[in-house]
Amino acid sequence: TAKDLGRGATESITITNDQNRLTQEDIKRMVAEGEEFAEMDKKIKEVAEAKTALERLAYTVKADISKADGIGAWNDGDKEMITTATENAINFLDNIGLETTDAKEIIAQERKLNTMLSQLRMKYTKTKVKKEGEGSVRTEL
């Protein structure tokens, strides 16, 4: 039953299964299948979100490295280390499947790359502050 609040009119409809539509058994089966695949869908969504986050980080770092100054004045060893870590993350992402990978694996790769970046940022921030002297304003990388 539906009621039009503006006019105050009400209408009723009845839905019947007179054209060989789904049976109750078919409906129950489809609901059961939906519930069965809900967990797999949730897992795939988590993996896809984690993959997107790691891709975003890796490609951002890769772009920053390719710029002249990047995140800071890289020494060759640090540049090689972060380049290798970034390429490893990208290769890891290229070789995983949404259905077969656990989101925790991807999140661990992202944390590993973020930890390395944080350590380098701290290293270069400290180096930059020391070079600027005590009266200078500290800038973040």
User: How is the chain split among helix, strand and coil, in percent rounded to 5?
Assistant: 65, 5, 30
pLDDT in tens, the chain (141 residues): 677 777 778 887 666 666 667 788 888 898 888 888 888 888 889 999 999 999 999 999 888 887 755 445 667 788 888 889 999 999 999 988 877 788 999 999 999 999 999 988 888 777 666 665 555 544 444
The maximal CA–CA distance of the chain, rounded, in angstroms, is: 86
Q: How far apart are CA 118 and CA 104, in angstroms?
A: 20
pLDDT at 58: 94
pLDDT at 31: 87
pTM of this structure:
0.65
pLDDT at 69: 54
pLDDT at 84: 92
Q: 80 and 120 in contact (C-beta within 8 Å)?
A: no
